[in-house]
């Protein structure tokens, strides 16, 4: 199974794609730039989705569903927004196909042209604020705390599985508030949920902070982000939360009557994470044998490979394991038994390593004689023998340890590849030679930011919340720094 996986060190991009295809997370769709999420990948996405969804609901958010199609005219209402999205929109222009009068197959019926073309949503601010205009009259109608799980489309020319595809799945939250302070609190609250899920569930350490104006969402007042380092030391924007201030309320003329009977524009936030997080899980934790999944989100946490030459031998192994398997299931551990016939144990080991299952049980006649089980950890490869009676008690502890260990490994890797620099030469050599996060002073000038990007391809990934700017100078201009920032090459 692991045959055909390029080594990480040899070609990171190919390794990434190989793992996704071999682990059956996803496949390429027939239309260029589209992707099929296969059952194993989708099950992983369901785990990730649930981790967010329950936290959104606990904090008072409700799910809803808004239309896929947006009138073309809506997109142009907010100036920055249109500039950000118009160049990559899928446009529906007709609503009927007919048999080709000149040959075989189908052609678009010219008589079915739409009066106004519709856009397949690249994001839903515009259609949602058109609805909020209908729903909001008074302060009593606020706040509105809505989220939706949906597909969106951005017509990308260069695509990559999970990271950049024409269509992707995501959640997009859209909230409406009576005051600027409430909107700001909401945007920060969501960022904290994003951080928590990334770190505690996906075992991905993230930096939290602000985007620069050049990197913020098209239409936002400001954008918060969680930013992670991938295994090739490049940065991935893993989630963003936008304070939209009154920008969309003004564009769509959404006002409310406040408690003092004054008419005011509504304040807003929007925020999203997407299936790109699956790509992050692959890149942060994967190795040359395939995926290594954090136990909390792994579709299967323990896989059992019974070893035996005949159906009877395999049957007796399964009998032998009946009690601990039952006990583990009762403790809520997701267990899978691979009792496929006609496939060697070695093949199965490779396959489940590729699929990143955290714990593997290998049990055969010797284990049965010794009343033990052989357990293999996917994170370290460590093989251990446990008394059978202890398995169901040990498994939760081991899973917790693996979760923690994957997080620590990723954090160590990130910290080892984060450099505080003072000179621009040093900056350039790190970005060019090893890549990684470069921490330095920035004068706050967009021209400085643009010049650095032009020369090095590195961008400001994040202005971290935690920073020390006193006495710092800009790495490029030498002027006093306005912020301490993190530069990196981004996906």
Q: How far is the CB of 252 from a second copy (least distance, A)?
A: 11
Q: Give whichever of 68 and 490 is closer to a second copy, judged by the CB atom.
A: 68
Q: Give whichever of 120 and 220 is closer to a second copy, judged by the CB atom.
A: 120
Q: How far is the CB of 87 from a second copy (least distance, A)?
A: 5
Q: Give whichever of 101 and 105 is closer to a second copy, judged by the CB atom.
A: 105
Pairing mode, if any, of strands 222-229 and 207-210?
antiparallel
Q: Give whichever of 4 and 105 is closer to a second copy, judged by the CB atom.
A: 105
Q: How far is the CB of 42 from a second copy (least distance, A)?
A: 5
Q: How far is the CB of 278 from a second copy (least distance, A)?
A: 11
Q: By three-state DSSP, how is residue 217 classified?
A: coil
Is residue 152 within 8 Å of residue 272, measured between CB atoms?
A: no
Concatenate the DSSP letters of all residues of 234-280 into one string: -EEEEEEEEEEETHHHHHTT-EEE-TTS-EEEPEEEEEEEETHHHHH
Q: How far is the CB of 138 from a second copy (least distance, A)?
A: 11
339, containing H or E segment: none
Q: How far is the CB of 356 from a second copy (least distance, A)?
A: 17
Token pair for residue 153? 């489309």
Half-sphere exposure of 53 (CA within 13 A, CB side): 13
Q: How far apart are the first and last CA of the chain?
A: 28
Look at residues 300, 288, 303 and name the one whose alpha carbon lies nearest to residue 332.
300
Q: Give whichever of 102 and 454 is closer to a second copy, judged by the CB atom.
A: 102
Q: Give whichever of 57 and 397 is closer to a second copy, judged by the CB atom.
A: 57
Q: Give whichever of 95 and 366 is closer to a second copy, judged by the CB atom.
A: 95
Q: Give whichever of 71 and 396 is closer to a second copy, judged by the CB atom.
A: 71
Q: By three-state DSSP, how is residue 311 classified?
A: helix
Q: Give whichever of 67 and 446 is closer to a second copy, judged by the CB atom.
A: 67
Q: How far is the CB of 117 from a second copy (least distance, A)?
A: 6
Q: How far is the CB of 268 from a second copy (least distance, A)?
A: 17
- In Å, what is the CA distance from 336 to each residue of 306, 329, 356, 477? 11, 10, 13, 58
Q: Give whichever of 93 and 420 is closer to a second copy, judged by the CB atom.
A: 93
Q: How far is the CB of 159 from a second copy (least distance, A)?
A: 12
Is residue 439 within 8 Å of residue 422, measured between CB atoms?
A: no
Burial 17-26 (b: 16+ CB within 10 A, else e): bbbbbbbebb
Residues that bind a second copy in the complex, under the rule CB under 8 A: 27, 29-31, 34-39, 41-43, 45-46, 62-76, 82, 86-99, 104-106, 108, 112, 117-120, 127, 130-131, 134-135, 140, 146, 150-151, 153, 155, 166-167, 169, 342
- In Å, what is the CA distance from 195 to each residue of 51, 133, 174, 332, 404? 12, 32, 19, 25, 16
Instruction: Write the DSSP symbol of residue 390.
Output: G
Token pair for residue 327? 């006990």
Q: How far is the CB of 94 from a second copy (least distance, A)?
A: 4
Measured in whole angstroms, how far is the alpha carbon of residue 42 from the centre of its chain? 13
Q: CA Rg, the chain, in Å?
A: 26
Other Cβ atoms within 10 Å of 479 Cβ, number: 14
Look at residues 417, 458, 356, 461 and name the one whose alpha carbon lies nearest to residue 231.
417
Q: Report residue 291: phi and psi, to 5°.
A: -70, 155
Q: Give whichever of 166 and 240 is closer to a second copy, judged by the CB atom.
A: 166
Q: How far is the CB of 220 from a second copy (least distance, A)?
A: 20
């Amino acid at each position: 199974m692991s045959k055909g996986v390029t080594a990480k060190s040899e070609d990171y991009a190919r390794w990434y794609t190989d793992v996704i295809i071999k682990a059956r997370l996803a496949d390429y769709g027939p239309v260029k730039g589209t992707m099929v999420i296969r059952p194993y990948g989708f099950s992983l996405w369901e785990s990730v989705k649930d981790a967010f969804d329950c936290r959104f609901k606990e904090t008072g958010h409700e799910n809803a569903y808004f239309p896929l199609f947006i009138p073309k005219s809506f997109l142009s209402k907010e100036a920055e927004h249109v500039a950000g999205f118009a160049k990559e929109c899928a446009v529906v222009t007709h609503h009927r196909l007919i048999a080709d009068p000149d040959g075989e197959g189908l052609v678009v019926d010219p008589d079915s042209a739409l009066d106004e073309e519709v856009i397949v949503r690249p994001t839903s601010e515009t259609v949602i604020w058109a609805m909020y205009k209908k729903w909001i009259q008074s302060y009593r109608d606020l706040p509105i705390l809505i989220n939706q799980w949906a597909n969106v489309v951005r017509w990308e020319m260069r695509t990559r599985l999970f990271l950049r595809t024409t269509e992707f799945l995501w959640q997009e939250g859209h909230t409406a508030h009576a005051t600027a302070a409430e909107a700001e609190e909401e945007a920060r609250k969501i960022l904290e949920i994003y951080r928590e899920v990334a770190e505690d569930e996906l075992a991905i350490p993230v930096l939290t902070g602000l985007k620069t104006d050049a990197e913020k969402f098209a239409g936002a007042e400001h954008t918060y982000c969680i930013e992670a380092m991938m295994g090739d030391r490049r940065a991935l924007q893993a989630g963003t939360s936008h304070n939209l201030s009154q920008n969309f309320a003004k564009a769509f003329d959404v006002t409310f009557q406040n408690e003092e009977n004054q008419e005011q524009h509504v304040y807003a936030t929007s925020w999203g994470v997407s299936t790109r997080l699956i790509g992050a899980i692959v890149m942060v934790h994967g190795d040359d044998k395939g995926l290594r999944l954090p136990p909390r989100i792994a579709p299967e946490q323990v896989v059992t490979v019974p070893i035996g030459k005949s159906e009877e031998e395999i049957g007796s192994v399964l009998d032998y394991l009946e009690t601990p398997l039952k006990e583990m299931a009762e403790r809520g551990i997701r267990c899978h038994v691979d009792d496929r016939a006609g496939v060697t144990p070695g093949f199965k080991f490779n396959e489940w390593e590729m699929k990143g299952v955290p714990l593997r049980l290998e049990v055969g006649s010797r284990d049965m004689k010794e009343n033990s089980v052989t357990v293999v950890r996917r994170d370290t490869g460590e093989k251990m023998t446990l008394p059978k009676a202890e398995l169901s008690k040990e498994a939760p502890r081991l899973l917790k340890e693996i979760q923690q260990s994957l997080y620590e490994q990723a954090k160590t890797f990130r910290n080892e590849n984060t450099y505080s620099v003072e000179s621009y030469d040093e900056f350039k050599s790190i970005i060019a030679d090893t890549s990684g996060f470069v921490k330095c002073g920035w004068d706050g000038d967009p021209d400085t930011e643009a010049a650095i990007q032009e020369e090095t391809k590195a961008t400001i990934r994040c202005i971290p919340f935690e920073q020390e700017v006193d006495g710092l100078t800009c790495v490029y201009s030498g002027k006093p720094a306005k912020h301490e920032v993190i530069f990196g090459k981004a996906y």
